[in-house]
Amino acid sequence: MLYLVGLGLADETDITVKGLEVVKRAERVYLEAYTSILHVGKEKLESFYGRPVIVADREMVESSSDEILSGADKSDIAFLVVGDPFGATTHTDIVLRAKELAVPTKSIPNASILNAVGATGLQLYNFGQTVSMVFFTDNWRPASFYDRLRENASIGLHTLLLLDIKVKEQSLENMARGRKIYEPPRYMTVSQCAQQMLEIEAEKGEKVYDEDSLAIGCARVGADDQKFACGTLKELSGIELGPPLHSVVLLGKRAHELERDYIRLFAINEQTFDASWKKYHERQ
């Protein structure tokens, strides 16, 4: 059996009892290490599980899945995923590959940012499509996220933006020369996301949002030191929320008064919060 085991969001203790039982009896244990990160290293996991853990990078998961699946028709293999096993589309690919090889699979769910974002006080059923924000470069500024924001905004729903991480990435030069030299890890921050959102709105000019739109910056959700900051996009573009991982929620206009009262607890500035709420969210 190939087991896809969700690890939760923060550290080694977030794994479920069911997931831990799988890990302890598995023949091999892999840790998917590029779609997200825990706040502890591989060594902490190995100490807590009492088992060696093999780090599986993007290349291994996407190009060498047969190595992971080898022997999974005869013994148990555990594939560990930060958050929930199906929080990233990559993991449906490995399940489909297992099916092709007649390897049975089972998933062990866990918390992910998709439900843990409820800690902001926003009601989960008021969220629309989740979107990703990638790092801009000098000649690449993808704006497909803007269309999803527009669609969510058109029916008044909140939008969760998942922020880019770059782990074990090669520069174009090193890739072209075939050199296995990797760039240092990078993790997008709330401020970088807000800046990029405002840049694209300035280009589009469709007023899906503006610098006075309310949003919530989220940092290390699920960890003991999780942090939220609610303010305008202009305010968030200059905020520092500490180490990764970060995400952002853009408020929809259907926000309820109970949501307002809760997120106001995280207000960067209560006066600008009240003014922005009145401008965009107060029912006439």
User: How far is 29 from 77, CA to CA, in rounded Å?
Assistant: 6
Q: 100: exposed, middle or buried (C-beta count within 10 Å: 0-12, 13-18, 19+)?
A: exposed
Residue 284: predicted pLDDT: 38
Examine the pLDDT at 189 and tell me if it is beyond 90: yes
Which domains are delineated in the chain?
2-111 (3.40.1010.10), 114-281 (3.30.950.10)
Task: Convert the pLDDT of each residue in 16-66 to its tens digit.
Answer: 999 999 999 999 999 987 778 888 989 999 999 999 999 988 778 777 788
Feature table: binding site: 9, 84, 87, 112-113, 163, 221, 246
Please check whether residue 162 is in contact with residue 221, taking contact to mean a CB–CB distance below 8 angstroms: no
Residue 182: predicted pLDDT: 64
Residue 185: predicted pLDDT: 85
Token pair listed for 75: 């013994």
Q: pTM for the full model?
A: 0.92
> For 66-70, 102-106, 233-237, 249-253, which range has the lowest pLDDT when averaged over its residues?
66-70
Feature table: binding site for S-adenosyl-L-methionine: 9, 84, 87, 112-113, 163, 221, 246
Average pLDDT over residues 215-221: 98
User: Residue 228's Cα: distance from chain center in Å?
Assistant: 15
Among residues of the chain, what percentage have pLDDT more than 70?
93
Instruction: Identify the bridge partners of residue 83 per DSSP, sorted by sequence position.
Output: 8
Report angle CA 147, 153, 154 to the nearest 5 degrees: 90
Instruction: Identify the bridge partners of residue 186 per DSSP, sorted by sequence position.
Output: 166
Residue 281: predicted pLDDT: 80
